[in-house]
Amino acid sequence: MSHPLVIIYEDRLSDLVGVKLLLASLARFEPSWRIRLIVPTDVQTEFHSFNANVAVDRRKRHSTGWNVKPAVLIEALSENDHPVLWLDSDLLLSAPIHGLLEKFDSAHLVAAEEPLGVRNPGSQLRTLAWDLGSGRHIERGLNSCVLRVSRAHLPLLVAWAALLADPVYLQAQGRPWNERPPWLMGDQDPLAALLGSNLFASIPLGLLSQGNDIAQCFNEDGFSVAARLAHAFRPLPPIIHAQGAVKPWHVRSPRSVHLELSPYRWAAQPFASVLPPADRDWLNLSSPVAKLLNTFALGDAALAGLAPALWRTLVRNAGRAVRLVSNTGAQHSVASSPRTTEGSRL
Ligand SMILES: [Mn+2]
């Protein structure tokens, strides 16, 4: 398969740190890949200095943020019959990834798995909530931080763009996270709905495995306890994702310990020189707790954050058990009283 055209998009000036690091890591590990960097801002950064293969596109698109994904993929596929690879700007490579992608032929849509702990994973709930006929159930949560597509996927991408323009979806995007239903959280939920539907169930899916292929650094345990133990004193997964609204380079005081100890910070170290000195503070540990945990872990990228990951996993599982018990209680009381209301649509 030919090299993919990489697409990176960022419209937030405060997050160009991630873009620079991703470009530098691509230059090191995938030096022959062409890159289209879409930055609809008037920032004057010389992106070529981080990666000679980058073509900068400053045009504004109709959508912004992650909702731009299908539109810019369709654009690139219409120009040329080559595979196109979307990479979130909060990704970083720690090794070459062409071998990972070449495991899947061009009929496959390649995406990443969500971290294990996310609530309500799987496509079925999303497919049904969007009123699409179910064609298959994809059990693992789907994360669209990496997406490799080809022209075979154009009808899917057109349908995805339509769902991302749906007023119900757009309205939900304006609400806080905890008020959005699982099928309207972000761009990847309508995509999972479509891939699980009978319209697109025949598209073979190549999922990059969380923990092995990609470290999903989401909260404390997105890069899980098991994955951290498996990578102890070994190289990190080849793709590192600084997943979530707060990024390791967002300098806030006090910083969360897990952000200080994010494997992303380790993976960023070799590329520190692409950042101006004022943007490098976050690359140093600052809190006594982070320094202590790092010392105990002998400076290992996977192990330094093990204690916070373990803590978060325990708390999450305890919360799940409590919800299970209280739901069972609620079901008992509903069963013993006359039904007065219709169940809501999912
Ligand atoms: Mn991301």
The CATH number of whichever domain residue 191 belongs to comes to 3.90.550.10
Q: List the strands of the sheet with 214-216, edge to edge.
A: 91-93, 239-241, 214-216
Tell whether the model's pLDDT for residue 109 goes beyond 70: yes
**Residues whose beta carbons lie less than 5 angstroms from ion ligand 1:** 88, 90, 145
Question: Are 300 and 203 contained in the same domain?
Answer: no
158 and 31 in a common domain: yes
Residue 326 counted as domain residue: no
Q: How would residue 202 be classed by pLDDT, with cut points 50, 70 and 90?
A: very high
User: Residue 176 Cα, ligand 1 centroid: separation in angstroms?
Assistant: 18
Q: Is 92 in the same domain as 232?
A: no
pLDDT digits (tens, 9 = 90+) for 226-253: 999 999 999 999 999 999 999 999 977 7
Domain assignment present for residue 165? The answer is yes
Give the Å distance between the CA of 243 and the centre of ligand 1.
5
The answer to whether residue 212 scores a pLDDT higher than 70 is yes
Residue 343 CA to chain centroid, in angstroms? 32
Predicted local distance difference test score (pLDDT) of residue 332: 62
Distance in Å, CA 144 to ligand 1 centroid: 8
Q: Ligand 1 centre from 297 Cα, in Å?
A: 27
The reply to whether 158 and 69 lie within a common domain is yes
Ligand 1 centre distance from Cα of residue 277 (Å): 24
Domain boundary among 208, 226, 257: 208
Query: Where among 146, 175, 208 does a domain terminate?
Result: 208
In the predicted model, is pLDDT for residue 343 greater than 90? Answer: no
Is residue 117 one of the residues assigned to a domain? yes
Are 186 and 234 part of one and the same domain? no
Q: Note whether 236 and 94 are within 8 A (CB).
A: yes
- C-alpha distances (whole Å) from 101 to each of 4, 66, 67, 87 are 10, 22, 24, 13
Is 230 in the same domain as 174?
no
Q: How far is the CA of 307 from the centre of ligand 1 (A)?
A: 24
SS3 label, residue 132: coil
Q: Are residues 147 and 221 part of one domain?
A: no
When computed from its CA atoms, the radius of gyration of the chain, rounded to whole angstroms, is 21
Cα(215) to centroid(ligand 1), Å: 12
Q: Are residues 162 and 199 in the same domain?
A: yes
Whether residue 36 is found in the same domain as residue 79: yes
Mean pLDDT estimate for the chain: 93
Task: Please give the model's pTM, rounded to 2 decimal places.
Answer: 0.92
**Both 221 and 162 in a single domain?**
no
Q: For residue 330, how far is its CA from the centre of ligand 1 (angstroms)?
A: 37
More confident residue, 65 or 265: 265
Q: Tell whether 332 is covered by a domain.
A: no
User: Is 148 found in the same domain as 24?
Assistant: yes
Average pLDDT over residues 249-271: 92
Could you tell me if residue 323 is inside a domain?
Answer: no
Query: Do 67 and 198 belong to one domain?
Result: yes
Residue closest to 106 by CA, chosen among 151, 146, 47: 151
For residue 340, the model assigns a pLDDT of 31
Which residue, of 184, 208, 232, is where some domain finishes?
A: 208
Host domain of residue 191: 5-208
User: How far is the centre of ligand 1, averaged over its atoms, from the C-alpha of 179 (Å)?
Assistant: 20
Distance 242 CA to ligand 1 centre (A): 6
pLDDT in tens, 302-316: 999 999 999 999 998
| Domain count for the chain | 2
Is residue 333 in some structural domain? no
Residue 302 within a domain: yes
Measuring CA to CA, how many Å separate 157 from each of 17, 29, 136?
29, 28, 18
Identify the residue with better confidence: 332 or 267.
267
- The alpha carbon of 209 and the centre of ligand 1 are apart by a number of angstroms equal to 16
